[in-house]
Amino acid sequence: MIVLSSAAHSHVNQERLRPENALYKANQAALLTSHLLILSFPHCFSLLHCLLVWWEPPWVAISSKIFDITWGDQRAKILNGGKLLTLSLDKDSGSGFRSKNEYLFGRIDMQIKLVSGNSAGTVTTFYLSSQGSTHDEIDFEFLGNVTGEPYIMHTNVFSQGKGNKEQQFHLWFDPTKAFHTYSIVWNQQRIIFLVDNIPIRVFHNSESIGVPFPTKQPMRIYSSLWNADDWATQGGLVKTDWTQAPFTASYRNFNANACVWSPGSSCTSASPNSVQDSSWQAQALDASGRNRLRWVQQKYMIYNYCTDLKRFPQGIPAECKRSRFL
């Protein structure tokens, strides 16, 4: 064995750090790239996170083989061979679609561009739901606003027919200018809401303390565009301006990496069915994910049922006693 003296170690390290050394140049380039990415995307917390933000699932076309137009007559249209689906709203009716398949756990992604201009009174939705009075539901709802004012992104979770678990956010971008990816990860441990792969909310399974959690009912994917000017914008004070109709929301690039349910199927976190990969089964937030969640909730959350003491004078719901950042 050859043992280097401390002086020799110092000489070797100096050689490695000389500017003309290839390793030094590579390290500096990587650091510069990371720095530029983080400066360019202020919601990035690391180079790894920037790369995760850019990650996209394996998109599939939106087609009549996957979705049924459920209402609205010709106001819902599948265009360009499934590259685009549009929903429209006019004074007579809105429109909507749903998935043919039912799912029990998985990750669902959809790219959406919301109604532009004066969208006050309109609601665009993307959600999972079962049926019946004790249904389960996982919601994204986008509440329109007057021109120049931000959308409100409304999230909620229902289990066994019980909801009242609202969190609302403004977005850090204009959701009407381009498509953005809205995702739901649903496994037996938690539900994660993501926007452009950034976690904005986590709802944990707290059945152990008596809080219902959706684990047994398969759900379909639904989307709709409808008029709700009795409550959607400023509590119903601002009504829909029908001179701006038709209002149109656009959808593209759908992905369901999920367990497709059928009678007799086994959809548990240990037995996936018809999925590309099973990473969603135990998906949770790492330290970087928790930092991103804090960033969103501290800067962009505008309502959290867990802090609404007027609504819950007898005490906040049991699940709220757990840190929302875990």
Note whether 44 and 11 are same-domain residues.
yes
Same domain, yes or no: 171 and 290: yes
Residue 207 annotated as catalytic: no
Question: pLDDT, tens digit, for every residue of 213-223?
Answer: 999 999 999 99
Q: Is 62 inside any structural domain?
A: no
In this prediction, residue 283 carries a pLDDT of 92
In the predicted model, is pLDDT for residue 312 greater than 70?
A: yes
Please indicate, yes or no, whether residues 116 and 29 belong to a single structural domain of this protein: no
Which pLDDT score is estimated for 300? Answer: 99
Matching residue, tokens 């690039």: 253
Question: C-alpha 50: how far from its chain's center?
Answer: 17
In whole angstroms, what is the distance from residue 297 CA to residue 291 CA? 10
Q: Which residue has the tokens 């070797």?
A: 12
Residues 23 and 141 in one domain: no
- Give a yes or no: residue 59 inside a domain: no
Q: What is the pLDDT of residue 271?
A: 43
- What pLDDT sits at residue 21? 57
CA distances from 146 to 112, 140, 175, 179, 199 (A): 19, 20, 14, 20, 27
> How do residues 138-165 score in pLDDT, each as one tens digit?
999 999 999 999 999 999 999 999 999 9
Residue 127 sits in the same domain as residue 163: yes
Looking at the fold, whether 165 and 26 belong to one and the same domain comes out as: no
61 belongs to a structural domain: no
Same domain for 287 and 258: yes
pLDDT at position 6: 43
CA pair distance 221, 203, nearest whole angstrom: 19
Structural tokens at position 15: 């050689």
Q: Residue 141 catalytic? A: yes
Q: What is the pLDDT of residues 51-76, one digit of tens each?
A: 444 455 566 677 788 999 999 999 99
Catalytic annotation, pick one of 56, 137, 149, 166? 137
| pTM, entire model | 0.81
List the catalytic residue out of 15, 141, 166, 319. Answer: 141
Domain range holding 35? Answer: 6-54
User: Does residue 87 have a pLDDT over 80?
Assistant: yes
The reply to whether 160 falls in a domain is yes
In this structure, is the dihedral angle defined by the CA atoms of residues 58, 62, 63 and 67, taken in order, positive or negative? positive
Q: Are residues 110 and 219 in the same domain?
A: yes
Give the HSE-up count for residue 303: Cα atoms under 13 Å, Cβ half-sphere.
13
Domain count, the chain: 2
Whether 326 maps to a domain, the answer reads no
* Mean pLDDT, the chain, integer: 85
DSSP E strands, the chain: 67-71, 76-79, 84-89, 95-99, 102-113, 122-129, 137-143, 152-158, 167-169, 180-186, 190-195, 198-204, 220-227, 247-261, 301-304
